[in-house]
Amino acid sequence: MSSHLLLSEAMKRALEGSGILEVAACGEPVLPATKPTLFPGAVYGFGVCLNQEERQALFEEARARSSARFAEIEQFKPIEGLLYPIYWGKDKQFGARPYQHLQNPKKTGAIRLSTYSTLRGKHLACAVIVVPDNVAAERTIQKAFPDLLKCSTNKY
């Protein structure tokens, strides 16, 4: 199974039993609305397959940037096999935030994946699930599979 499908399945497994269900990405806005909403929010995640040497290098690079959530590498555990969770996030208007995390934006808090030398040439997995409560869903997934990186406004 490809890494993005493994990531998506892991997210769904983490939400099982929490009462948070995936919902269809469709909506029926009524205009004119002050804040028209097309869809409920979403949760998304990034993962990457790493061997032990690559895992160590990514962990050290994140620590050097003060972007690691963990103090010890033992806390950076795979979801399944060699697939490691890099970041879980939530998005009220899904779609834009995952793209921002790939770039190195000015002022916006992001994980800035394109700036990590240890990720160059790696195939990153990304998955998005539309949910009615993105805050609770993100918290649930982070608890099940703790992610390595935290956002920063520092540009690299």
pLDDT greater than 90 at residue 37: no
pLDDT greater than 90 at residue 38: no
Give me 32's structure tokens: 């004119």
pLDDT greater than 90 at residue 107: no
Tell whether 15 is covered by a domain.
Answer: yes
pLDDT tens-digit map of 47-94: 999 999 999 999 999 999 999 999 999 999 999 999 999 999 999 877
Tell whether 127 is covered by a domain.
Answer: yes
Tell whether 120 is covered by a domain.
Answer: yes
Confidence grade of residue 124 (pLDDT, cut at 50, 70, 90): very high
Tell whether 149 is covered by a domain.
Answer: no
pLDDT greater than 90 at residue 111: yes
Q: How big is the CA angle at 122 (ends 116 and 126), to the nearest 5 degrees?
A: 90
Stretch 19-34: mean pLDDT, rounded? 85
Cα(30)–Cα(126) distance, integer angstroms: 32
Domain extent for 127:
3-24+38-144
* Secondary structure (H, E, C), the chain: CCHHHHHHHHHHHHHCCCCCCCCCCCCCCCCCCCCCCCCCCEEEEEEEECCHHHHHHHHHHHHHCCCECCCCHHHCCCCECCEEEEEEEEECCCCHHHHHHHCCCCCCCECCHHHCHHHCCCCEEEEEEECCCHHHHHHHHHHHCCCCECCECCCC
Closest CA to 141 of 13, 49, 17, 35: 13
Confidence grade of residue 153 (pLDDT, cut at 50, 70, 90): confident
Mean pLDDT rounded to a whole number for the chain: 92
Tell whether 122 is covered by a domain.
Answer: yes
Tell whether 153 is covered by a domain.
Answer: no
Query: How many domains does the chain fold into?
Result: 1
Tell whether 152 is covered by a domain.
Answer: no
pLDDT tens-digit map of 139-149: 999 999 999 99
